[in-house]
Amino acid sequence: MTEARLTLPRTVTLLSPSGEPVLTVGALPAAAVAAAALALAPRLTAVAALAALVRRMSLSLDSPR
C-alpha cells in the first residue's frame, strides 16, 4: 500500500498597501483560478492585475513552519 504524500499547505495572501491582508487562499486553488481566468477572460485578468498594481497591492506566498 502506498502512503499519501505530505504536502505543505501554502497560502497566497493579497496585501493592501498598508500591509493588511485583504484575501488569503490556498496556493493550489489560487493557481487554478488564475489559470482559468487567463484562459477564459484574459483582458479582464489583465485589467485586474493593472488595478492591483496601480493600488500598490502585493502578493505574499506563505508556508507554515
- For the chain, the structural domain boundaries read 29-65
Asked if residue 10 lies in contact with residue 62, where contact means CB atoms within 8 angstroms, the answer is yes
Supply the pTM of this predicted model: 0.76
Asked if residue 34 lies in contact with residue 26, where contact means CB atoms within 8 angstroms, the answer is no
Cell numbers linked to 52: 492591483
Q: Is 34 helix (H, G, I), strand (E, B) or coil?
A: helix
Longest dimension (CA), the chain: 52
Distance between CA atoms of residues 36 and 56, nearest Å: 24
Residues β-bridged to residue 26: 11
- 39-64: per-residue pLDDT in tens? 999 999 999 999 999 999 999 999 87
- 4-48: per-residue pLDDT in tens? 666 668 999 999 999 999 999 999 999 999 999 999 999 999 999
